[in-house]
Every structure is written in C-alpha cells, then in structure tokens.
Amino acid sequence: MRDAGNVKTVLIDIDDTLLDFSESSKDAIRFAVEKTGFDLPPDIHPVFWKINSVLWEKVERGEIDKYGLYRIRWKTIFHAIGRDDLDGAVFEEAFYNRLSETAYPVRGAKEILAYLASKYALYTASNANHNRQRERLAKAGLDGFFTDFFVSSSLGANKPTAEFFDRCFERMEPRPLPEETVLIGDSISADISGGNAYGLFTVWYNHNRKPDPTDPALIPCVKVDSLEEIRAIL
C-alpha cells in the first residue's frame, strides 16, 4: 500500500460515495412509474443499474456526453425488457427530475467529511450538474464542509480527463501538488483511472464489493469498504 505522504488537499466524489445513488435511483424509478403510469416489472432496478453504468462509462471515455446519455437511457432500458412501446423521453424527464431532488447520505458521510475538513482543504469532484449537486448536498446536510465544489458541468470537462483535474487545481488556493492530493471515489473508470494518471493518491471506496482491477493503471493506492476506514489512512 502506497503511503499517503504529505497530504494537503482531498477531492471526493459525490454519487455513490457521499450520496447513495442506488437508493436515489430506486426512489426516482418509483416516482416516475407513478407519474407516467407505465407498467414496469418489479425487478427493473438491476436492469437500470447495469445499463446506466455502461452508459456512464461511455461518458467517461468521451464516446457520448451527459445529454446523449439522458436521451437514450430509458429508451435503451425499455428495449432491454421488451417494452419499446414505452416513451423513454417521457420517463426520463420524470425520473431525472426526481433523481435531482433526492439526497440519501451514505452511512458515515457526514462524520468523515467533518474529520477530513478539520485536517485538509476539501473539495468535491463530480461528473454531474453543478447546481443540482450543490442542492442535493445541502439537502443532505453535507454542503458546509467544502472549500469549493468541482463539478464537470461548470468545469467544462469530465473525470477521468486530465482537463478535469487541471481545472480543479487551477482553482485551488493555495495550489497543492498532485502528490499532496488525495482523490476518494467509488468509480474505477472515473476516479481511480483519472486520479492515478494525474499522480494523485487514490482511495477506492468499494462498498459495492466489485472485483479488484488487474490493469496496473486502474489499481488504487488504497481500497476501503467503508468511509470510516479512511480515518486510518488520512
């Protein structure tokens, strides 16, 4: 395990790291079903999760943008379950609006943010809409711990690109070195690959119990299964 060294700054992901995306998406699906009246199978969430993950990986690779994802997400899901008769755009609107309002904190999120903010300059590092992420953090009572909020829609670049991190570092005052900066997140493809490539100390929050990556470029400096474990590292 690589040592965290002389840490001055911490970047932390939002969805599925601080806010529980699984619970939020289940809530949003229930709401959209009630709103649209669409008859969906009760086990729709695993299908959503699989397809949504694939589409976000395409966003991270630059193959589509977020708006392209929103245009095809539910159309793709409905096709996968044999329901091409349903209007994906109508369902997406109801789903996305509800999703943007939900804020279920991950267990231990407030406690670990308080701990980190007492020791380091703390920033978000998120691929999403800036205003909506700020609103969701505020709703969850997690917004008061951050020095600034770095979100792709306002930075004009997505994780894992170097441009995303360039723009984060440009706004940090005083500006740390990459080797003095920690990135905490749940996504191997966005957080760990991007952070490793930029020379950050990467902490993989593997609460979904995903298999360890084998590609050296994707192996985190540290893996944790709970946010509480971060205290022993930083």
Q: Tell me, what CATH number does 78's domain have?
A: 1.10.150.240
In this structure, are 175 and 73 located in the same domain? no
In this structure, are 152 and 219 located in the same domain? yes
- Asked, for residue 4, whether it belongs to a domain, the answer is no
Percent over 90 (pLDDT), the chain = 90
* Residue 32 structure tokens: 């959209």
Which listed residue (3, 13, 39, 148) is catalytic?
A: 13
Boundary residue ending a domain (73, 99, 125): 99
* Residue 224 structure tokens: 């944790």
In this structure, are 108 and 93 located in the same domain? no
Q: Examine the residue annotation and report whether 13 is marked as an active-site residue of this protein.
A: yes
Beginning with the edge strand found earlier in the chain, give each strand of the sheet holding 148-151 in spatial order.
148-151, 121-126, 9-12, 181-185, 201-205, 222-224
| Chain centroid offset of residue 133 CA | 10
CB proximity list for 33: less than 8 A, separation 6 or greater: 40
pLDDT digits (tens, 9 = 90+) for 75-85: 999 999 999 99
Please say if the pLDDT value at position 74 is more than 80: yes
What pLDDT is recorded for position 3? 63
d(CA 208, CA 161): 24
CATH of the domain at 150: 3.40.50.1000
* pTM of this structure: 0.90
What pLDDT is recorded for position 143? 95
What pLDDT is recorded for position 214? 94
Please say if the pLDDT value at position 107 is more than 60: yes
103: left (phi over 0), alpha (psi -120 to 50) or beta: beta
- Asked, for residue 2, whether it belongs to a domain, the answer is no
Boundary residue ending a domain (45, 80, 99): 99
What pLDDT is recorded for position 1? 47
Percent over 70 (pLDDT), the chain = 98
Confidence tier at 116 by pLDDT (50, 70, 90): very high
Domain count, the chain: 2
d(CA 86, CA 81): 11
Host domain of residue 46: 21-99
pLDDT digits (tens, 9 = 90+) for 12-62: 999 999 999 999 999 999 999 999 999 999 999 999 999 999 999 898 888
